[in-house]
Amino acid sequence: MKITGVSVRTFTYTSHVGRDSEGHGHPAPPRETTQSLMTIETSDGVAGYAFGGIAAGVLERDVKPLLMGRDSFYRELIWQGLKERQRLNLATLNDKILTVVDCALWDLAGRALGQPVYKLLGAYRDKVPAYASTMCGDDLEGGLDTPEAYAAFAEWCMDRGYPAFKLHTWQPPIPGAPNPKRDVAACAAVREVVGPDVPMMLDPYHYYGREESLYLGRELEKLDFLWMEEPMDEHSMSSYVWLARQLDLPICGPETAEGKMYTRAEWIKHDAADIVRGGVGDLGGITPLVKVAHLAEAFGMKMEVHGGGAANLHVLCAMGIPGLFYERGLLHPFVDYDTPKPWLHQLEDPMDDEGYVHVSQEPGLGQQIDFDYIDRNLVTSW
């Protein structure tokens, strides 16, 4: 199955989420924005798809030369080739681009073989419990503007069936943020509502210093939290070594630090984290995320997958090591997460009343793409 075509289509849709000046998502008035779909076609008439943008110049210069005419099943060779090209092209060939290419190739393989991706990886389960992962705190009345608002939303999430809850607390430019004491107040308010047995996690401001991070960790220990992630700049691995030594609370990471599986290996070696962290978008696709899962398994560690989406879900359902939860969200009282994206016919991560997300049994990644919607709202293609 030789690759005969690689293309990207960009289309518009109406979003109800906006980003603040620091890049954090919040509910917002409806606005037109764009999404992109990569298509990889083969000589056998089978195609693979993945959502994400690639600039036309990068596609022509860096991606197509590695793909065109290549056997589409040579995913590892292609991924390694793109990784090596990053050395001199980091400004344009980032891990998000590797993710789109790699996920499209895995989707293609599944469609060609008539199997879902998690079975190609080596199936372990077909459903996984989800935790409710909130948007960052805000100043919207009735949103996530107070500790009490977080507690009320957590109560709603428990009624919806979520078995666990994670707070993303207030970050700049929200007035008064960052504030570790306010973060703890929100965590305490949620714990009071959900009771002592619900697993809880915290993802706070990412640039606290050592003292604030230690304070957070010790307070979360009193509240019996399951883990904390990224309270400091992850480029300072030594700060995480210091923090992990001080706390019984598990530290989960690294999340956004560059370096793929190599960075995770260094964090494991230096005891900088207790739970390994990684997602397709952080690492450059399904291929490296599976490498990290195997790395964690070799050291007897848990790995928690960062972020939702079909690709992350398929890897979770193929992992033979404890990956406790699927991260479902980001959630907010003003956002209807259970409505499918307009370019999909159905949710890619449907959750039942018991809090389990079921992986699709359709070939590939199982995304039910509405190609007519994309064509009707097409902006450009290359």
- Shared-domain flag, residues 302 and 340: yes
- Shared-domain flag, residues 217 and 107: no
- Shared-domain flag, residues 259 and 110: no
- Shared-domain flag, residues 195 and 294: yes
Residue 145 lies in a domain: yes
* CATH number of the domain bearing residue 243: 3.20.20.120
User: What is the model's pLDDT at position 287?
Assistant: 98
Residues 114-124 pLDDT 10s: 999 999 999 99
Give the predicted TM-score (pTM) of the model.
0.97
- Shared-domain flag, residues 160 and 288: yes
- Where residue 188 falls among pLDDT bands split at 50, 70, 90? very high
- Shared-domain flag, residues 149 and 80: no
Asked if residue 297 lies in contact with residue 304, where contact means CB atoms within 8 angstroms, the answer is no
User: What is the model's pLDDT at position 320?
Assistant: 86
Residue 12 lies in a domain: yes
- Residues of the chain with pLDDT > 90, as a percent, come to 98
- Shared-domain flag, residues 308 and 174: yes
Distance CA 40, CA 356 (A): 32
For 70-84, what is the mean pLDDT?
A: 98
Residue 365 lies in a domain: no
Residue 363 lies in a domain: no
- Shared-domain flag, residues 189 and 269: yes
Residue 364 lies in a domain: no
What is the Cα 48 distance to its own chain's centre? 21
Number of domains in the chain: 2
Domain residue limits at 88: 3-114+370-381
Q: Please say if the pLDDT value at position 321 is more than 80.
A: no
- Where residue 322 falls among pLDDT bands split at 50, 70, 90? low
Non-local (6+) Cβ contacts of 21 within 8 A are: 173
- Shared-domain flag, residues 351 and 231: yes
Residues 214-246 pLDDT 10s: 999 999 999 999 999 999 999 999 999 999 999
